[in-house]
Amino acid sequence: MSTDAGVPGMLLVAATPLGDARDASARLVEAIGTADVIAAEDTRRFRSLAAALGVTVTGKVISHYDAVEAARLPGLLDDVRGGRTVLLVSDAGMPAVSDPGYRLVAAAAAQDLPVTCLPGPSAVTTALVLSGLPVERFCFEGFAPRRGGERTRWLQGLVAEPRATVFFESPHRLADTLAAAVTVLGADRRAAVCRELTKKHEEVLRGPLAELAAWAEEGPVRGEITVVLAGAAPTTAPPVESLVDAVAERVADGERLKDAVAAVAGAAGVGKRDLYEAALAARD
């Protein structure tokens, strides 16, 4: 609801249900009915959510997806500066977590405009809990890389990662990603594939990567996918000679030798100087 002239309004960043409208918080319901402006990733999905919640939308609803996010910033900041309440929502889950929102929050904070968050559903934390894996420490990787070479390098960076890793994947690329994970991380690395979280056909498959890859290969896989990988078990560092091929592959893809060595050495827990010298020796 608008405030007095000259007094800044508020940017509300709100989590929306992943699939079940009953997961909406009371604060979200109130904000939908009272905000002056609603910036929604998909305006049709937002209006469907409001209808499912039985809320009458009185504010102006505008689109706020990737392609228009930058263009929307000045107007939304002016709205907050002018005393209006702006509600930012994505299709599902928390804005700015692999969804539009980061730029608006950063811009508002840089201008000392009031920003707060209405917490709620998140596919990241929901999948972590349901994975059944140790997740006291975890890292979030967004969407897995689409291209094979980039995906392989990304997975190589997770070989020695001690934290659980959670990421999103499209259903039609899941089989390829899991097959690549078996090759790079090993058949026995444990993982969980979470499908359609909180929805009618929710499904969580847990097991070693080899089993999950075989399941995905049978296909077809449908729905929204979140994957959790177990952290790497503590191991001794591999011999640097065994890592030379990984360095050479990155260099062949256009990466500088120094940068390739740093990335591979960091992931494997070996000294950069030793690996650099081994890579140079292999060239001779």
Output the DSSP codes for the chain. ----TTS--EEEEE-B-SS-GGG--HHHHHHHHH-SEEEESSHHHHHHHHHHHT----SEEEE--GGGHHHHHHHHHHHHHTT-EEEEE-SSB-TTSSSTTHHHHHHHHHTT--EEEE----HHHHHHHHH-S--SSEEEEEEPPSSHHHHHHHHHTTTT--SEEEEEE-TTTHHHHHHHHHHHH-TT-EEEEEESTTSTT-EEEEEEHHHHHHHHHH----S-EEEEEPPPPP-PPPPGGGGHHHHHHHHHTT--HHHHHHHHHHHHT--HHHHHHHHHHHH-
- Residue 3's pLDDT band (cuts 50, 70, 90): very low
Residue 48 lies in a domain: yes
2 has a pLDDT exceeding 50: no
Residues 237-254: pLDDT tens digits?
A: 788 888 999 999 999 999
Residue 184 lies in a domain: yes
| pLDDT score, position 239 | 87
173 has a pLDDT exceeding 50: yes
Residues 207-238: pLDDT tens digits?
A: 999 999 999 999 889 999 999 999 998 766 78
256 has a pLDDT exceeding 90: yes
Residue 222 lies in a domain: yes
What is the average per-residue pLDDT within 34-49?
Answer: 97
Q: Are residues 117 and 129 in the same domain?
A: no
| pLDDT score, position 7 | 75
Q: Are residues 114 and 31 in the same domain?
A: yes
- Residue 6's pLDDT band (cuts 50, 70, 90): low
Residue 4 lies in a domain: no
Domain boundary at 106, 121, 136, which? 121
What is the average per-residue pLDDT within 59-85?
Answer: 96
Domain span including residue 27: 10-121
Residue 162 lies in a domain: yes
| pLDDT score, position 5 | 52
Q: Are residues 67 and 117 in the same domain?
A: yes
pTM of the model: 0.78
Q: Are residues 99 and 114 in the same domain?
A: yes
Q: What's the chain's average pLDDT?
A: 94
128 has a pLDDT exceeding 70: yes
